[in-house]
Amino acid sequence: MTLNTKQLIIFLVWSMLLSGCITRKPLKTRGAGLTDNVDLQLVEPDENSDAVEKIVHRVKSSVFGLKREEFLSLMIHEYQKLQLLDSEEKWRSPYYAEYKSRLLPDDLHMADVLKFLDRIGDAARKNPYLLKFLNEAGPAELRPLQEYLDREGDQVLPRVVAYALVSETICQIQMEDVDFLQATYDIFRQARKDLDVDFFDMNLFGYAKLTTVESPIEEFIEIRKSGRVEPDYLRKILPINIVEAIYTDKYLGAL
């Protein structure tokens, strides 16, 4: 399989970041701005550093100089893209408004963001498929990624980090509060309704995929509320989902 530049970026950076979700450790915050700690320094990786450490360092360097307001603005943009926050920065559900201090922490500190990235790196090292790729990919395969990061990394990577932190926070609260999970699901369904998206706006595969994703979500929410799991839960829908994933990879040329 030949990876193009876009696939390399998604696989190396996005997979590394999202492999940290869910870490089950809430982000701890302090009462200082992102750049207020003059003693905070980035440690340069040396020749003995593994590929994950080098990638983590590159991602860290892209956000290290940001001010708190700049990083929170990136997070706000991600919440808006997810339809969770409107254009006037109002949460689309009272459940989200209730958790505002966690979703957009006013006391976010750069040290906490760096620790978050370290935890993601630790999780990435536990991903055998990602490590296998990093160990086997040679300079020729990675050169397009390096050139892209040299050219646009400082603009792209902060948005990736903001998205990862947004996803992490949402997942953590969903684990803790089933009503928040229900609210998230309701927001997405309402957003699709507002856009008037129906069967005729999607191809057959898209509609089937939507059905096989929504149904397990609804069942999962009910399980969370009742505290009871049926023995045959996901016995039928999971194999269908796997087949769909294989079909998608073949359609996109990844297999």
Q: pLDDT of 76-95, one tens digit each?
A: 999 999 999 999 999 999 99
Average pLDDT over residues 15-21: 50
Average pLDDT over residues 164-170: 93
Residue 43 per-residue DSSP state: P
C-alpha to C-alpha distance for 123 and 101, rounded to whole angstroms:
26
3-state SS string over 73-141? HHHHHHHHHCCCECCCCCECCHHHHHCHHHHCCCCCCHHHHHHHHHHHHHHHCCCHHHHHHHHHCCHHH
pLDDT surpassing 80 at residue 237:
no
Whether 181 and 222 have beta carbons less than 8 Å apart is answered as: no
**Closest to 170 measured CA to CA, from 111, 162, 224:** 162
C-alpha to C-alpha distance for 255 and 250, rounded to whole angstroms:
5
Residue corresponding to tokens 């020729």 = 140
Own/partner long-range contacts of 89-94 (Cβ < 8 Å, ≥24 apart): 92/187, 92/190, 93/183, 93/184, 93/186, 93/187, 94/183
C-alpha to C-alpha distance for 29 and 38, rounded to whole angstroms:
17
pTM of the entire predicted model: 0.78
pLDDT surpassing 50 at residue 238:
yes
pLDDT surpassing 50 at residue 30:
no
The first and second tokens of residue 217, run together, are: 């979500």
Span 32-72, pLDDT tens digits: 445 554 467 787 888 888 888 888 888 999 998 898 889 99
